[in-house]
């Protein structure tokens, strides 16, 4: 089954509702590398080249492809159902070449660009999920997310026990997990947290957004994932999109490294002897590297509750899908505090797919 909608768990954070908890496999190291230390891993690929020219939009299992740059008259080039015949939306991941992985409870279906159909018969390859790849229960694999890293390795994020696994590229029927990270395992810094989503920066650092019964936080594990996951300065930011200054075009006068995402927390330090302010739920930008000693506050915020965010540095813009109604907004990058979107497109998928439903954004060549 699909994970709860972004809108639902963002609201859950604000209300302090009880959330996911998870237990990882094993009691030893929280990372299990499958390769000997003498086997070199491939170099990390920095970013898309040439700049992205397409935007993939997922609304609860309904797929839209747009040509970039967007305009007020932009219409989808394609509208497709991701798992035809199923009543449950699958997980979707897009690699740096624009190829798509559709992950159901039982299969990984790989589709090459250009995407023409997600019918199983059109898949380049169909791979049965097994316990050697991810946690599998009586009803199959209950995945909460799937992501490609910059090296085109496919990562699966399990909602059964919080296990995070890497399938090395090229993914095939003989693939087994080359890295296993038991997120939420007792005795680790992620104990009592359940995994909600995963993201990568251009250095292939893995960031996992997790939630306990009382709070949510971002955790990270740096390539090659030889150490347990650690808190990312306690930052509560979902839909994280990481931008390195090298990703901007050479003509850009303001190349900055930032993280952009949905932030839940205070916006400033309270005056002396005053109670802390109520946390805000805003689309926010933080300059990198973070400087906890100066306070972990965003340098720019926008009044938006986003269920999906992706930054396009060559644009330079940030795309955001509203968690409540699925509308697509385009903001300048870097964000400008309290700025208005440059463009807004309504969700074309209908109430069943747009309103408070899971959603994703991906850039493609």
Residue 299: CATH number of its domain: 2.120.10.30
Overall domain count for the chain: 1
Domain assignment present for residue 107? The answer is: yes
What's residue 40's pLDDT? 46
Digitized pLDDT (tens) for each residue of the chain, 365 residues in all: 444 444 344 444 443 333 333 333 333 333 444 433 334 455 444 445 678 999 999 999 999 999 999 999 999 999 999 999 999 999 999 999 999 999 999 999 999 999 999 999 999 999 999 999 999 999 999 999 999 999 999 999 999 999 999 999 999 999 999 999 999 989 999 999 999 999 999 999 999 999 999 999 999 999 999 999 999 998 999 999 999 999 999 999 889 999 999 999 999 988 888 888 899 999 999 999 999 887 899 999 999 999 999 999 999 999 999 999 999 999 999 999 999 999 999 999 999 999 999 999 999 99
Classify residue 53: in a domain, yes or no: yes
pLDDT value, residue 49: 61
Within-domain flag for 54: yes
CB neighbour list of residue 83: distance below 8 Å, 6 or more residues apart: 61, 89, 90, 102, 104, 118
According to the model, what pLDDT value does residue 165 have?
Answer: 98
Domain housing 251: 6-364
- Whether 152 is covered by a domain: the verdict is yes
What pTM did the predictor assign? Answer: 0.87
Question: Residue 184: is it exposed, middle or buried by C-beta count within 10 angstroms (0-12/13-18/19+)?
Answer: buried
In a domain, 1, yes or no: no
Give the model's pLDDT for residue 34: 40
2-5 CB contacts, 8 Å cutoff, 24+ apart: 2/60, 2/61, 2/88, 2/89, 2/90, 2/91, 2/358, 3/143, 3/144, 3/145, 3/159, 3/196, 3/197, 3/358, 4/358, 5/60, 5/307, 5/323, 5/356, 5/357, 5/358, 5/359
């Amino acid at each position: 089954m699909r994970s709860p909608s972004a809108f639902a768990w963002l609201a859950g954070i604000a209300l302090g509702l009880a959330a996911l908890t998870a237990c990882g496999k094993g009691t030893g190291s929280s990372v299990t590398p499958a390769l000997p230390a003498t086997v070199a891993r491939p170099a990390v690929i920095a970013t898309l080249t040439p700049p992205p020219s397409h935007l993939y939009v997922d609304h609860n299992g309904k797929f839209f492809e747009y040509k970039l740059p967007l305009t007020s008259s932009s219409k989808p080039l394609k509208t497709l159902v991701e798992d035809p015949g199923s009543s449950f939306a699958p997980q979707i991941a897009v690699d740096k070449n624009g190829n798509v992985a559709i992950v159901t409870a039982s299969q990984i279906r790989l589709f090459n660009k250009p995407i023409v159909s997600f019918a199983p018969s059109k898949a380049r390859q169909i791979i049965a999920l097994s316990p050697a790849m991810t946690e599998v229960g009586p009803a199959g694999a209950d995945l909460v997310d799937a992501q490609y890293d910059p090296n085109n390795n496919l990562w699966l994020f399990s909602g059964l026990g919080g296990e995070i696994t890497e399938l090395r590229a090229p993914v095939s029927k003989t693939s087994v997990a080359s890295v296993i990270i038991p997120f939420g395992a007792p005795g680790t810094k992620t104990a009592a947290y359940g995994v909600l989503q995963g993201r990568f920066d251009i250095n292939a650092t893995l960031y996992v957004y997790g939630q306990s019964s009382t709070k949510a936080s971002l955790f990270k594990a740096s390539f090659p994932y030889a150490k347990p996951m650690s808190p990312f300065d306690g930052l509560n930011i979902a839909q994280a999109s990481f931008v390195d200054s090298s990703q901007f075009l050479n003509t850009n006068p303001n190349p900055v490294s930032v993280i952009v995402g949905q932030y839940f927390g205070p916006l400033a330090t309270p005056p002396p002897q005053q109670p802390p302010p109520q946390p805000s739920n805003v689309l926010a930008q933080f300059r990198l590297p973070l400087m906890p000693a100066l306070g972990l506050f965003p340098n720019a915020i926008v009044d938006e509750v986003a269920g999906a965010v992706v930054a396009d540095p060559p644009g330079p813009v940030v795309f955001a899908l509203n968690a409540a109604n699925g509308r697509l907004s385009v903001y300048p990058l870097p964000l400008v505090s309290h700025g208005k979107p440059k463009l807004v497109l309504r969700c074309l998928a209908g109430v069943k797919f747009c309103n408070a439903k899971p959603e994703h954004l991906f850039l493609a060549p």
